[in-house]
Amino acid sequence: MVVSKDKVEEILYNYDCRQDALVPILMDIQDKCDDHYVDEETQRYIANRLNLTYVDVYEVSSFFSAINKKPKGKYHIQLCNSSVCRINKKDIIEEYLEKSLGIQVGETTSDNLFTLEHTPCFGACDISPAIRINKKVYGHLTIQKVKHLLKDLRGELDD
Ligand code: FES
């Protein structure tokens, strides 16, 4: 499992093992996982504890893009791919991110520092083009801003 059984049990206890809390349970487990995902073994364990089938849990985790099924980099960069960000030239930001990170959308850097993915609109249209990195939103993006942000995350900024 991606986190210890004790941690999973603690999370289940926090939600009284309620079936209707499946999504927050999976999200909490993911938050506790160093690689930011919920593996099949853990999903099967949760299914068993909530009296659900593995297929039930799998379908829910597949439906919610915020629940990761594969390990992610330390920084999970989600680039909005919806209409307002597209109109506001998210392609330029995407091209720069891919070039700078040396990966394509959907991939993780070999040092496991960054994962780059598309995501549907997350409500930051007023500051588009926008990205979300480990739940924090950054908007009004320019290449200069993204360059600075990546330097910061790589620990390359002078104090
Ligand atoms: S369209 Fe990109 S945040 Fe809404």
Residue count of the chain, please give it.
159
User: Same domain for 58 and 82?
Assistant: no
Q: What is the pLDDT of residue 159?
A: 62
User: Same domain for 12 and 48?
Assistant: yes
Q: What is the pLDDT of residue 28?
A: 95
The count of structural domains within the chain is: 2
Q: Which two tokens stand for residue 110?
A: 């070999």
Kindly state whether residue 132 falls inside one of the protein's structural domains: yes
Kindly state whether residue 159 falls inside one of the protein's structural domains: no
User: Same domain for 131 and 90?
Assistant: yes
Q: Which two tokens stand for residue 64?
A: 């919610």
Q: Which of 89, 119, 126, 128 to mutate to test the pocket of ligand 1 (most atoms within 8 A of CB)?
A: 128
DSSP states along 60-78: HHHH-TTS-SS---SEEEE
Q: What is the pLDDT of residue 83?
A: 96
CB 116 within 8 A of CB 124: no
Cα gap 99→45, rounded to integer Å = 40
Kindly state whether residue 68 falls inside one of the protein's structural domains: no
Kindly state whether residue 69 falls inside one of the protein's structural domains: no
Report how far ligand 1's centroid is from the alpha carbon of 15 (Å): 31
Q: Specify the pTM.
A: 0.73
Cα dist. 76→45, 68, 153 in Å?
Answer: 25, 10, 11
User: Same domain for 59 and 104?
Assistant: no
Q: Which two tokens stand for residue 57?
A: 């849990």
User: Same domain for 37 and 85?
Assistant: no
Q: What is the pLDDT of residue 98?
A: 98
pLDDT per residue as tens, the chain (159 positions): 888 999 999 999 999 999 999 999 999 999 888 888 999 999 999 999 999 999 999 999 999 877 888 888 989 899 999 999 999 999 999 999 999 999 999 999 999 899 999 999 999 999 999 999 988 999 999 999 999 999 999 998 876
Q: What is the pLDDT of residue 66?
A: 79
User: Same domain for 58 and 79?
Assistant: no
Kindly state whether residue 133 falls inside one of the protein's structural domains: yes
Q: What is the pLDDT of residue 1?
A: 85
Last residue of a domain, one of 40, 63, 86: 63
Residue 132: strand, helix, or coil: strand
Q: Domain limits at 124?
A: 75-153
Residue 18: strand, helix, or coil: coil
What's the CATH code of the domain at 101? 3.40.30.10
Tokens 């299914």 locate to 47
> Which residues have any ligand 1 atom within 6 Å of their CB?
80, 82-85, 121-122, 124-125, 128, 130
Q: What is the pLDDT of residue 157?
A: 82
Among 137, 149, 132, which Cα is nearest to 96's? 149
Cα gap 7→92, rounded to integer Å = 41
